[in-house]
Every structure is written in C-alpha cells, then in structure tokens.
Amino acid sequence: MQTGLATPSQSHLNFSSKPANSIYRHSPLNPLKPSSSSSSCRSTLKTRTISNKVTPLETIQTHLSNLQKILQPSSSTTNNNGIKEKEKRLLNGLDLSKIMPEMKSSAEEMSPRNLNRLKRLLSISQEYSPRNNLATRWREYHGCNNWDNLLDPLDENLRREVVKYGEFVQAAYQAFQSNPSTTTTSSSENDVDVPPPLSPRHVSVSDTSYKVTKSLYATSSISIPSWIDDMAPDLSWLTQRSSWIGYVAVCDDPREIARMGRRDIVISLRGTSTCLEWAENVRDLLVKMPGDENHHHSNAKVECGFLSLYKTPGSIPEMPSLSESVVHEVRRLMDLYKGENLSISITGHSLGAALALLAADELSTCDIRVPPIAVFSFGGPRVGNRGFANRITENGVKVLRVVNSQDVITRVPGMFVNEALDEKLRTSRAGGLLKILDDNVPWAYSHVGSELRVDSKMSPYLKPNADVACCHDLEAYLHLVDGFCASNCPFRANAKRSLAKLLHEQGANVKKLYTSKAHGLKLGLDKAKIQIPNCVQNPF
C-alpha cells in the first residue's frame, strides 16, 4: 500500500531541528533510537496536557503511531476487494490533511475505495444495471403511456433498456467501419463493368439474445463524377451512392422473451458516414411525403435529403430502397412469429434517428396486424413539420428522444431553435401565425415525441467545455444516460458503464485526472480501441 509518506524524512516535518530530548527523537520511526523508547514518550505526552486538551505534540504522535502500524506487516483478513480492513481504518485515522493541508486532495485520490471504483470504471469490461423482469409492464416501458413518470427521475429498468438500444446502434457503426465498401469491384471477360454481388456483412450484437436477420442499405439520389473516385481509389466508399446503414434483428432467446414479455424486433440505423450522406443532410427543404394526398394529414412534410436516402433504390436488383427492405423484413417476421406477442423497436443515432422516424411512420400503416412501434433515438435532428409530428402521434408510434442539452444537432434544421419557446408561443395569440408558417414556410420544422434530456456538463468525468463532436458522440450519450438519475440530481454515484471507450474516442474531452489515472493504472485501454476513419467521426 502506498500511503504517500514512506519515511518521516519525506514529510514536511523537520526532525533534526528539535532538541535531543524532544518527542521526535524518541519516535518509533526514528532509526537512530530503539522502539522500546516509545512507551516513555507516551508517558511524557500525558503530562503535557492543559485542561484535558490534547497538545499539538500528542496529535502528531498519534499520526506517527498510525503511520507506523500501516507500514508494519499485517496478518489481518481481506474483504472481497482485497483491501485490508485494519489498514483502511488506520488510513482514515491518519488524517494527512492535518499534518499537510496541501495533501488533502491527494489523500482523497489514494483512498482504496475510490481507486477501486475508478479502476472498475476504467476497465474495458462492461457492466450493466440488473435486468429485471418486465413481462407485466412491457407496454409501459415500450411507451404506451409516453413514458410518463419514468423519465424524471429515470426509472432504472428504462435506463437499462435505453442503453441496450443505444448499443444496437454502436454495433451498426462497428459493422460499417469494419468494411465501409458496399460492393467489390468485378468485371466480365470483355472487361465490361458489371454489378457485383453485395459483400457479406458481419454484425456483432452485444446482446446475444438477438440474431441479425437482414442488412439494410440507404441510397443517395445524388451522384458524384467518377473522376473523383479515380483521384482517391482507396476512399471510393466515401462517394458510393449506396451504403450499408443498419440491420434488422429479432430476439430468439426464450428466457429473454419471457423476461421482456414479448418477442422484440429491432431495427438499428447508424449516423452519417459518407460524403453523399452529408450532401443529403444539407438538403433541408421540406417536401410532401409521396402518396400522402389522401391522408388526413395531407400537409405532413419531411426533409428532402432524409426522404431521398429512405426512398431511393440501389443500382442493382439485390439492393432495394431502405423503405422496401424494412417493410418486407418486418412483414416476413410478423408472418414467421404469427400468434406471439411482438413489438417493434427502431433505434438510431443522428441521421439514423431521422430515418428511424420515417421507418416508424411507414410501418405503422403498412399492415393492420402491425405490433406496437417505439422509436429510441439519440442525438436526432428535426425530421419534418408539425403536420408530420401529428401524423406520427395519431398513428400510435411512440418516440423517446434522448437529447444532450449541449448537442447542436438536436436543434437543426428549422426556424425555431428553442422547443420550449415554440410550445409557449403556440398557446398564445401567436399560435395562429405559427400554424400558417407550418403550412407555408419550407423550414418550419418540429420535433416529435417524449424527451429524455441529459447534459454533458453534469458528468464528473467530462470537461464542462467539451467540444461539439463529444456532445454528439454516441458513447458520450450512453455514458450520460447510464449516469442520469434526475434533473435535480443528474449523475448517479453508482454509475456502472465503463469509461474505457469514452476515453479512447473522446480522450481530449475527459478531465485530465481520469486520463492520467487510466495510464497510471495500466489497464490496457488499447484493447478497447476501434479503428474509425477520420471522416466518419462527425456529427449528424
């Protein structure tokens, strides 16, 4: 055990400046004197009290005595954490701050309990909150009541479910980053380019009770000249029109199905990762949804770029549009598990959160047998106008948006940046004017669903001035959700999520204390690294 004071000579006490008969000379820690003199020192100290008040000399003697006991070998038993209970009590009794006030923070840092907790959080192994049985309340956790009374304070079961869906999106990112190219180059015998088959895709889902059943692709309606690819052939995946964007998975573990009370179908969608996806993001004019002329909400409009990625088919028959793939696979699974309790959970981050809303809207009307649909989105932008938001709500789709207060992406696109102000204005005399704007202005966007608001400034591990990339990062979102307790108590002390990945991806935004401790503890954080192309690390 390191106590910070190996010998008295290392402290700020000057032992050589005292007279020969002083207490320091008779200290058991003084190598020039035998330890048998310690008893005479204690008897001398007892006579040096005034009105039963302990003198400074007696206080120092107590500190030194405690230090001696810590430095001596001990045969005391250990607890589950391998910390000697006797030494813990003596360390607390040492009270280094009284001897050296400037050591107060250092003494706190070397507390065995704090070091063990920090070491656990910095380890690369992931911990989770307990998985309680949700069978009797699964519809409530799936949003049938819009998560009323579950968000503030955050229900521990809901926290676990939200983090789980966020990790489905992480699996989508990792699968894409491992092989960004959608297709492989091939040619015929006459050197004429032919459409190659889709490359296989392995998705490593952290929740092993789910199996992946379908890969999903999104296609841009924008094309880029081929000479751009010729300039950087190794980065041609950045300009490919169609890209792997996510997957469909279904729970097939009987125990997990019993715990959740239904068989869950998950649609997971990643965020922006290619140049053409970026180009679609900035096409922010609102357009009417196709085939919406006879719908009750005929004024429902969505962003042009998002709709393009969702509806545009690929250049080969094996690659239908994202819309077709999602609807076809969900119908297939509904037929396969006909008669069972089913749910559809759509989750996405950034661009994926926007596409998740479009998928939820279409699935809600694709079949009269469609099971309950819920969207769990992270850092999602606005997708459509108020007519689209009303349409989503009336179709029975439940939406839970996880929003970081410092994330600017959640406030674009659109005219109104402050959602609370927008709601307040709509209940005032200005409500009629805003309705006219909703119907006629091409940038009158509106959010939809319930909101779980977190704040990166409330994390004890992140710097309060964390940059835009950190505030939008998915791992930062999951870190904040795992630590969120309530709006008046934002970060729980018993948060379980490992800091290893957060340190790797956002090390510059983590407080220096924890980055230095990570290196000091030599926890092998390199094992947690994920190779991510620089152009992929972006907001949206």
297 is catalytic: no
407, 422, 438, 473: the catalytic one is 407
CA pair distance 184, 77, nearest whole angstrom:
62
519 classed as catalytic: no
Residue 35: phi, psi to the nearest 5?
A: -70, -15
In the chain, the largest separation of any two C-alpha atoms, in whole Å, equals 107
Q: Output the DSSP codes for 471-524.
A: HH-HHHHHHHHHH--BTTB-S-TT----SHHHHHHHGGGB-HHHHHHHHHTT--
Give the span between the Cα atoms of 249 and 334, in whole angstroms: 13
Cβ atoms of residues 482 and 159 within 8 Å: yes
Nearest alpha-carbon partner for 246 in 138, 133, 147, 350? 350
DSSP for 345-400, please give it. Answer: EEEEETHHHHHHHHHHHHHTTT-TT---EEEEEES----B-HHHHHHHHHTT-EEE
Which whole-number Å values give the CA distances from 186 to 195, 197, 398, in the listed order? 8, 9, 44
Say whether 350 is catalytic.
Answer: yes
In angstroms, rounded to a whole number, what is the distance separating the alpha carbons of residues 304 and 286? Answer: 6
Q: Which helix (H) or strand (E) holds 344?
A: strand 342-349
- Residues 472, 473, 479, 504: which is the catalytic one? 472
Coil, strand or helix: which one is 51? coil
Structural tokens at position 351: 């661009």
Alpha helix (H) residue ranges in 232-299: 254-260, 275-281
What amino acid occupies position 140? E
Instruction: Tell me the pairing of strands 263-269 and 242-251.
Output: antiparallel
Place of tokens 């077709």: 324
List the beta bridge partners of residue 525.
none
Which of the following is catalytic: 220, 350, 456, 498?
350
Q: Give kind and range of the element (H or E) at residue 405.
A: none
CB 478 within 8 A of CB 167: yes
Tokens for 135, please give them: 């069978």
> Phi and psi (nearest 5°) for 266?
-115, 135
Give me the active site residues, please: 350, 407, 472
